[in-house]
């Protein structure tokens, strides 16, 4: 068994509803079975921390849940909306961060008024550079713009975050932790892959991926 799931004793939420259900999921990347018969459930209002060494399949799992990689076998169900923040920021370098955020909100049919967008940008102190073309911004600034989407996300959604705190400064790190805490306490779900500490104050379910160290062996 390649996966080691540890459930920390947690205070049970008022109405524990299984919202994300992964059933015997296998994902093949080339010849390597990266995710090997993973079964896992995440209740609403829980924060799941994906850990494991490089190549363990954290990004693969998140991309599969985001619908960007096909499951080789098995399946998952998630009745709520999913918000994915991957390694790529999903920002066009040619237009401003504000325009990127506004078109993202429109695509997700989120009714975003200008002050809602301002509010989401301010959550990551991104207001000062949001009107500049994204190609002029630094790595960390782009990351903050990508994460500013979370401020527009519907409250019951599942956030799939792939190393969200990579490249963030300390202040932005704190904002992200606060945002995760608020989302979880409002009944949303967060699944985040991380190497460092992330939202340590939030009670978390750990999902440790070990990957397939033997390569192509089953």
φ, ψ dihedrals at 134, nearest 5°? -65, -25
CB 140 within 8 A of CB 169: yes
CB 82 within 8 A of CB 157: yes
> Of the two residues 135 and 213, which places its CB atom closer to other proteins in the complex?
135
The residues in 41-70 that bind other proteins, with binding defined as CB under 8 A, are 59-60, 63, 66-70
CB of 88 to other proteins, least distance (A): 3
SS (H, E, C) 46-110: CEEEEECCCCCCHHHHHHHHCCCCCCCEEEEECCCCEEEECCCCCCCCCCEHHHHHHHHHHHCCC
Among residues 93, 140, 155, 197, which is the contact residue for other proteins, using CB under 8 A? 93
CB 35 within 8 A of CB 75: no
CB of 82 to other proteins, least distance (A): 5
Binding mask 3-32 for other proteins (x = CB under 8 A): --------------------------x---
Among residues 84, 127, 203, 210, which is the contact residue for other proteins, using CB under 8 A? 84
Binding mask 117-146 for other proteins (x = CB under 8 A): ----------------x-------------
Residues 6 or more apart whose Cβ sits within 8 Å of residue 193: 50, 51, 58, 59, 61, 62, 161, 162, 163
> Of the two residues 41 and 92, which places its CB atom closer to other proteins in the complex?
92
> Of the two residues 95 and 182, which places its CB atom closer to other proteins in the complex?
95
175 lines the binding site for other proteins (CB under 8 A): no
φ, ψ dihedrals at 86, nearest 5°? -100, -160
Among residues 82, 167, 169, 206, which is the contact residue for other proteins, using CB under 8 A? 82
Binding mask 94-113 for other proteins (x = CB under 8 A): xx---x---xx-xxxx----
CB of 44 to other proteins, least distance (A): 19
The CA distances from residue 120 to 5, 22, 77, 78, in Å, are 34, 31, 29, 25
Residues 6 or more apart whose Cβ sits within 8 Å of residue 1: 37
The residues in 178-207 that bind other proteins, with binding defined as CB under 8 A, are none
> Of the two residues 1 and 109, which places its CB atom closer to other proteins in the complex?
109
Binding site for other proteins (CB under 8 A): 29, 59-60, 63, 66-70, 81-84, 86-95, 99, 103-104, 106-109, 133, 162
């Amino acid at each position: 068994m390649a996966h080691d799931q540890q459930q920390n004793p947690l205070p049970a939420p008022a109405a524990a509803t299984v919202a994300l259900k992964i059933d015997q999921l296998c994902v093949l990347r080339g010849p390597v079975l990266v995710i090997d018969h993973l079964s896992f459930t995440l209740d609403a209002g829980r924060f799941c921390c994906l850990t494991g060494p490089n190549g363990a399949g954290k990004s693969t799992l998140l991309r599969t849940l985001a619908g960007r990689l096909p499951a080789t076998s098995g399946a998952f169900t998630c009745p709520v909306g999913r918000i994915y923040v991957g390694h790529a920021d999903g920002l066009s370098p040619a237009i401003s961060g504000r325009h990127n955020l506004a078109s993202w909100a429109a695509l997700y049919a989120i009714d975003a008024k200008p002050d809602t967008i301002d509010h989401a940008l301010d959550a990551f102190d991104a207001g000062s550079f949001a009107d500049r073309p994204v190609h002029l911004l630094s790595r960390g600034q782009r990351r903050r713009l990508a994460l500013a989407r979370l401020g527009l996300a519907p409250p019951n959604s599942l956030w799939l975050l792939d190393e969200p705190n990579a490249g963030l400064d300390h202040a932005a790190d704190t904002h992200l932790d606060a945002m995760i805490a608020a989302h979880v306490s409002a009944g949303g779900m967060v699944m985040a892959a991380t190497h460092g500490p992330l939202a340590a104050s939030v009670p978390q379910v750990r999902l440790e991926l070990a990957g397939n160290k033997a390569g192509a062996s089953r």
